[in-house]
Structure 1
C-alpha cells in the first residue's frame, strides 16, 4: 500500500474528534518502460509546496502474461511516487508517501498521530479485509472498492491524494468534492501517465485538472501496450473508472457527497426583509464562526521566540467585506497576544501610472499621488485595518503593504503562467498574479500610524485565510443581480448553483498552485463542507436581499439605518458584519481582485480577460 495525501482541517465521522494532517506536493507516474521522474522545474515547485520533507518511492511490478492477449501485455509496470511535506500539525514531520510494510516488505515502523497515517490505516484495513476473508464470501473485487469509498465518504476537509492498493494492483486518486486542493493529470511525450500537484515543468503535453466528480480508479491488471506507436515506445492503454459523488443514501459504489444540494425553493409571496434580528443571521454567525475556528486553532509555533514576534495566521486582505469579516471572527477565537497579519497587495499598473502622471502635470499644485496608496484595494485595506483596530483594540494587527513594481511583475510573469497552468487566460493571469505576490507575504509595515515610516517584513504565517466562496454562495457578483432581474428567484438560484459547481475547475486548483508555491496553505472558511451545506440549504432570500420586502424603521438607531441601505448582494454577510460592529465594512462594494489590486490590463491594448495568453 502506498498513500500520499495533501490535506488540511480534516474531520472524520469514525472519530468524533478533529485529526490533523500535513499539506504536500504530489507526483506520481506510470510507465511500461522505466521509472519516470519529474522535470527539474517541477521538483523545485514541489519542494516549494513542501519545504520540510522530500521523499521518493519506486515500485516495479512484474506482469503475468495474459493468455488471450500476450502481445499487448507489458513485461513490467514502473510506478514512481514522490511527495513533499509542509508541516502544519503535531510535534514532528511525517514523511510521505506512506508505505505499508506488509505489502511491500519495507522495514520500518509507522509514526502515529498524523491524520495521513490514520487515513492510510483505514484504507489498508478496507483493502486487506476482502483478501483475508476470501473474495467469494464478501462479493468479490467490487466489495473492496465499496469499502474504500466508505472510508473516503467519511472524510471531510480539503484534500487530494493518490493511493495504491497493492493487494489488487489498483491506483486511486481524487480531490475533495469542492476541489480545494490542486491535482492535475496528463501524459508526457512518450505517453507515460503523470498525476501531479502542478504541471510537470515546461512540457508542451497538456495537463488537466482532475475533475471533482468522484474517486478515479485505474486497474493495473488491465493495462495493455499499444502496438502501433510509430517510435516503437512502450505506450500503455488503460481505463479510468470514476466512482461518483452522490447525494443518494444507498448504492454500493457511490461516494456520499458531504455538500447538500441547492435549495431550489421559490417563494410564493414576497419574502420578509433581512434584518439584524433575522434568525438566519444568527445561524450564519454560528456556522461561520465554527468554520473559522476549525481553521485557526491549534497551529504550531514553528520556532517563533514568542507570539508577538511573528504571526501564525495571515489573511489575504483587500479590506472588503469577506476577508474583513473573517479577520473580525478570527479575533474572537485566537488568543489576544497573537499577532494576525493582514496582507494587502497593490501593483504598479503602467496605464494607471501614466494617467496619474498626466493628472499631476495638469494640476501643478496637487501633491504627488502614490501609485500604490491610490490603488482601490489599498484604500479599502487601510480603512478595514483602521476599523479592526477600532473595534478590536486589544489585538496587534500587522498591515503588510505588498507593493509590486511593474518590472518585478514582468520578472515573475512567466513563473506565474507556468504555475497556474492549465489555466491560460488574461483573467487567470491577473488573479493568479495578485495571489502570487500576496501569498509571498513580503512588504512594508508602518511604524505606528505613519505610513511613510516603514520597515520591510515578510510574514511568518504558514496559514492564509481567504474569503473565496462568499460571492458564489451569497450572490455577490453583478451577474447575480442580472440573473434575478431577468428570471427572478429561479434565475438567481441557477446562477448560484452554477458558480458553486465550477469552483474546483475555475478557481481553486489554480489558486492552490500559486499560493502553495511560497510554502503556505490557503484555507477557505466559506468553503467548509458544513458551512456550504448550510448555505445551499438556506433559502436564497435569506442569503441576499434580492426580492425581499423593504422595511422602514422609525428610529434614529444608526445600525438600523445602515441596515436599511445595505446592498442586496451578500446582504446576510453585510448584516453580520454590522452586528459585529464593522459598520464601514458592511457597506463596502464588491470589487474583483484584479481590479482592486490593478493587475488587470497591465499593458495597453484591447486584450480581454477571456483572451488566451
Structure 2
C-alpha cells in the first residue's frame, strides 16, 4: 500500500513545505520502501507530486510518481483481472497504458476496465488537466482538501489548527477531472447513474470544496451492469429444526442452493488466491537482508474467530504452500474496571471465539503452522496512542464508531510479533450477506406481509452497501497501511460482489431462523460445507464490542471528544 500526495497551488509563492514535511512520517509508514517527488509550474502556480511506495508486486520496486510521455502518474493499490506479466508491477503496467492514451476518451476507456482496490492521480502536462479517482467500491483512501491557495489530494492527512483547511474523503463516484488553473469547478464521469444518496455526496463535496461538480457521461464498468440471478430457491420455505446441523445438511443438499455454493466457491477462491499470491517472496524482516529463503509468515488474517475471517483463513491454507506459516491476529482491550487476574483482563468475546476457531482450523488443516498473535492493549496505551497518532489517521472522520474501529484495526495490524506485509480482512461480508442486527430488525419489526418484509431487508442491505466506503473502507485502509501492511478484502472483489448482489435477500439470509443460524446464512452454509462445522454456528459480536474497545452506553454515531480538533 503506497502513500500518494498531490498539491495544486494557484500561488507559486506559497510555502507549503511545512505542511508536507509534517506528513512525511505518516506517508513513509504507508510506503517505507521508496520515495520520490516532482515539482512542476503551471500557468497560475505550481503542482507538486510525491509518492511513498510499499513494494508488493513485480520483480523490482517501482518508484512514484512516474513520469511517462505527457503524463505524471500516482497510483496506490492493486489491480486484478488484467493481462500482465507477474514480473511487472501494477504501477509500471498502468503507467505504460496511460502513456499510450492520446485522447480523453482513451483515458476514460482505460480507467473503465480497471478492477481492484486503487486510488489514482493522473496529470496531463500538455493541457494541464488533472484526473483522480477511487475504485468503484471505494476500498482505498483518498482525501481531498481545499486550502487558501489551492487543493490537496492525499492518502492520509492531519488537522492543522492554524490552517484554513476543509477536508473530506473523496466520494468514490467515478473519474474526476479539473483544470489546475481553475478550481471553481470539477467534472465527474460517474461509475453509475447518480441516485439520491450519491447526489447528496456530491452536494457535500461541492460545499466542502467551494466548487461546482458537473456530472457528465456515465463510465459504466461492465461488472457493475445489472446481473439477474438464475437461481430459484428461498431459505424461508424451509422449516427450522432445533438440530442446526440437520437443517444445514438439508439445505446444502438442495440442488439450487448447492449451485449457489459452487459459484460462491469458485469466485471466492479466485479472489483469495489473487490476494495472497501477489506479494514479495520475503517477509518484512527478511526484506532488508534478502536471504536465499524466507520461512516466516508473509500474510496475516485479522482474526476475530467469526465465520468470515475463518473462511478466509481456511481458503488461504488451501492456496498457500504448506510450509508457509499463516498469522492469525486477534486484538483485545483491557477491561475498564480491572479484573483480578491477567487471564480475565483479556478474556474478551473475540478472544474466546478466536481460540475456538483456531482449534477447528488445526483439526481440519493438518500440517499448517497457524500462529495466533494475541494483541493485548491497556487503556493507558490506547489513550496515549489514540490522542497522539491514531486520531490523525482517522481524520477527517469524527464519530465514536470511527474511533473504536480505527483503533481496533490499528492495534491489530501493529502487532510487534507479526512478520507479514499483507493483511487479509473480512470487510464486506456483513453488508453483502446480511450480518448486522439492523438487518434482522428490518425484518422482525416490519408489520407487512412477507413481500413487504423482504423489501425492507433489501432496502437496509442496499443502504449499508452504499455507505460502506465512507463508513468503513477508507478509514480502515489508513490505519492498517500506517503499519506497513496492505489490507486486502477478498469479499470485496468485483465478480464476487456482482454475483452475491444478484441474489435476493431471502437467498442470502433468513431471519426466521435464530441469530447465529439465519444471519449470513449462505456464507455460513459455505463454511459448513468446507468443514467448519463448529464455526458455522458461532454468534459473533461486532468488533468494537467483541474486542471490548467500545462502551455499549455510548452512541456510536455521536462525535468523539478525542477526534474533534
- Alpha-carbon spacing, 1:59–1:171, altered in 2? closer, same or farther (3 Å): same
Q: Structure 1, residues 247-303: CA drift from partner, whole Å, max 9, x if none?
A: 79xx99332233345869999988544712322122212221111111111422223
CA separation in 2, counterparts of 1:609 and 1:566?
A: 23
1:296 to 272, 276, 279: 276
Native 8 Å contact 1:477 1:590 kept in 2: no
- Secondary structure of the structure 2 residue equivalent to 1:27: strand
Q: How does 1:134-533 map to 2 (within 5 A)?
A: 144-188=103-147, 190-200=148-158, 202-203=160-161, 205-220=165-180, 223=182, 237-246=183-192, 253-257=217-221, 258-261=223-226, 272-273=237-238, 275-277=251-253, 278=257, 279-302=259-282, 303=286, 305=291, 309-351=295-337, 353=338, 356-357=339-340, 368=341, 370-414=343-387, 415-442=389-416, 458-485=417-444, 486=446, 487-533=452-498
1:534 to 499, 518, 521: 499
- Secondary structure of the structure 2 residue equivalent to 1:39: helix
1:308 CA displacement: 7.0
- What TM-score results when the alignment is normalised by the length of structure 2? 0.82
The aligned residue for residue 446 of structure 1 is none
- Alpha-carbon spacing, 1:195–1:270, altered in 2? closer, same or farther (3 Å): closer
1:440 CA displacement: 0.7
CA separation in 2, counterparts of 1:338 and 1:491?
A: 45
- Secondary structure of the structure 1 residue equivalent to 2:191: strand
- Alpha-carbon spacing, 1:390–1:372, altered in 2? closer, same or farther (3 Å): farther
CA separation in 1, counterparts of 2:69 and 2:516?
A: 60
Native 8 Å contact 1:261 1:536 kept in 2: no
- Secondary structure of the structure 1 residue equivalent to 2:175: strand
CA separation in 1, counterparts of 2:278 and 2:134?
A: 25
Q: Structure 1, residues 185-232: CA drift from partner, whole Å, max 9, x if none?
A: 0123x23211111124535623101111111100235x2xxxxxxxxx
- Alpha-carbon spacing, 1:270–1:568, altered in 2? closer, same or farther (3 Å): closer
Native 8 Å contact 1:41 1:201 kept in 2: no
1:60 to 36, 41, 45: 41
- What TM-score results when the alignment is normalised by the length of structure 1? 0.76
My pick for the range that moved more, 148-157 or 116-125, is 116-125
Residue 32 of structure 1 pairs with residue 5 of structure 2: no
- Secondary structure of the structure 2 residue equivalent to 1:60: strand
- Alpha-carbon spacing, 1:264–1:389, altered in 2? closer, same or farther (3 Å): closer
- Secondary structure of the structure 1 residue equivalent to 2:279: coil
Which sections of structure 2, spanning at least 5 residues, go unmatched? 73-86, 195-214, 239-247, 447-451, 561-565
- Secondary structure of the structure 2 residue equivalent to 1:206: strand
Q: Structure 1, residues 113-152: CA drift from partner, whole Å, max 9, x if none?
A: 22212222222222xx3xxxxxxxxxxxxxx322211100
1:243 CA displacement: 0.7
Which sections of structure 1, spanning at least 5 residues, go unmatched? 1-22, 64-75, 105-111, 130-143, 224-236, 358-367, 443-457, 551-563
The aligned residue for residue 60 of structure 2 is 92
What is the number of residues matched between the two proteins?
Answer: 492
CA RMSD of the aligned region, Å?
Answer: 2.6
Native 8 Å contact 2:524 2:537 kept in 1: yes
The aligned residue for residue 13 of structure 1 is none
- Alpha-carbon spacing, 1:397–1:609, altered in 2? closer, same or farther (3 Å): same
CA separation in 1, counterparts of 2:110 and 2:535?
A: 42
- Alpha-carbon spacing, 1:292–1:331, altered in 2? closer, same or farther (3 Å): same
CA separation in 1, counterparts of 2:522 and 2:316?
A: 19
- Alpha-carbon spacing, 1:541–1:410, altered in 2? closer, same or farther (3 Å): same
Q: How does 1:42-53 map to 2 (within 5 A)?
A: 42-53=23-34
Native 8 Å contact 1:162 1:173 kept in 2: yes
1:177 CA displacement: 1.0
